[in-house]
Structure 1
């Protein structure tokens, strides 16, 4: 991931940490290429030069997902370091925004320094997956406070029991040109009051299938289903 001020004309000025990664970790040399991106939609093919702190760059054009309607995951914080993996994997899958929330059954009270760590993990996963846009990682907030916010588009809350329709069926029948918000619960699931509060603010209960998923698995399953529908719609439009 590069900062905008590192790009000057057709050159990329490499930081010391980037030089270490390229030359020492990846063991690249002069004349070899890599993909550079800024997380804001710009990407380049970069070629290492004989100067270790400079790479020559040329714009790289590929089909972009930047025009896709944003998908936000609202995730009740799992215990331990589980959210680290959720950040990494949902970034790879294409999430737009991650909003961690503290629910009635949340066991993990986050350290304020965790946000910086999650943002760093998201940046690393963005580079690894070569996606154009860096997802936004928001500070944790209470679930009840989140429900006071107004958002456009579809709003789905994943529930483990009951007769809620499957998220795949609901997504296939939805207008995915509009933003979507998907909420997944903590270990033990949402409380009845939390689900009722979500419904009162416009959330539709949905199911992820007949099995009880872990708090770190549910967001991946939910996002995969919605992104699959996005991909199907794009294929049908070709």
Structure 2
């Protein structure tokens, strides 16, 4: 199934230009054909194409139905962007495919990358959402200082994952409660969180955790953490 993304489809009854171009010029969809449209907010629409203008393709909504996330818990992954932007783009794609509600690029003391353009990340997330047949688009924040993330994010459970063996850590798999309504995981940069950042998170109520005995790349750690939430939740259903 091919999905088209139109966040305002319910109000405008039109496809955005990029989606209309793909629908009409690439896939050669014709007037009267039915297509599937998602709004990124959890709804899928079966629509009939009313015209074949590639810049302004209008549709008629035949049916609306919710597409609930396959995961029960609201998941936020706050991750320090990697120096290599390709790796950050890759992790946004894979987190979206696995299933996540919010991705926050975090600026830390040891961050190799201090700025990031979220427009590109949003486009990658849209593509991954469509490809994986989801209808929920993760919210992507702009680059946010670590102290702001620590102080402002609320969740049923909050975790900070790091490598420093001198600061005691627990197992994420053992500490995560699959009945939690929401969860936040902090993932540090290539140089790990600074000790004072770890302390600040723990003092704010974050649970200090390890993702296992292996030393993982930043983007791998984010995927392992997110998948841990999914797997444990599925095992307890």
TM superposition shift of 1:126: 2.0
Structure 1 partner of 2:152: 149
Q: Partners of 1:129 and 1:164 in 2: how far apart? A: 34
Q: Partners of 1:232 and 1:46 in 2: how far apart? A: 36
Structure 2 partner of 1:90: 95
TM superposition shift of 1:146: 2.1
Q: Is the 8 A contact 1:30 1:49 kept in 2?
A: yes
Q: How many residues align?
A: 227
Q: Partners of 1:133 and 1:33 in 2: how far apart? A: 21
Structure 1: any 5+ residue segments left out of the alignment? none
Distance 1:156 1:124, change over 3 A: same
Q: Is the 8 A contact 1:41 1:66 kept in 2?
A: no
1:217 aligns with 2:220: yes
Q: Is the 8 A contact 2:76 2:183 kept in 1?
A: yes
Q: Partners of 1:175 and 1:214 in 2: how far apart? A: 25
Q: Is the 8 A contact 2:30 2:49 kept in 1?
A: yes
Structure 2 partner of 1:76: 80
Structure 2: any 5+ residue segments left out of the alignment? none
Note the 1:1-238 alignment, pairs <5 A.
1-4=5-8, 6-7=9-10, 12-30=13-31, 32-48=33-49, 51=52, 53-61=57-65, 64-65=68-69, 68-81=72-85, 82-111=87-116, 114-162=117-165, 164-171=169-176, 174-233=177-236, 236=237
Q: Partners of 1:204 and 1:118 in 2: how far apart? A: 28
Q: Partners of 2:44 and 2:155 in 1: how far apart? A: 30
Deviation track 1:159-196 (CA, whole Å, cap 9, x = no partner) reads 2253623212222xx15332100011110212222211
Q: Partners of 1:36 and 1:13 in 2: how far apart? A: 10
TM-score (norm 2): 0.84
CA RMSD, Structure 1 to Structure 2 (Å): 2.5
Q: Partners of 1:70 and 1:195 in 2: how far apart? A: 23
Q: Partners of 2:110 and 2:178 in 1: how far apart? A: 32
Q: Partners of 2:26 and 2:235 in 1: how far apart? A: 38
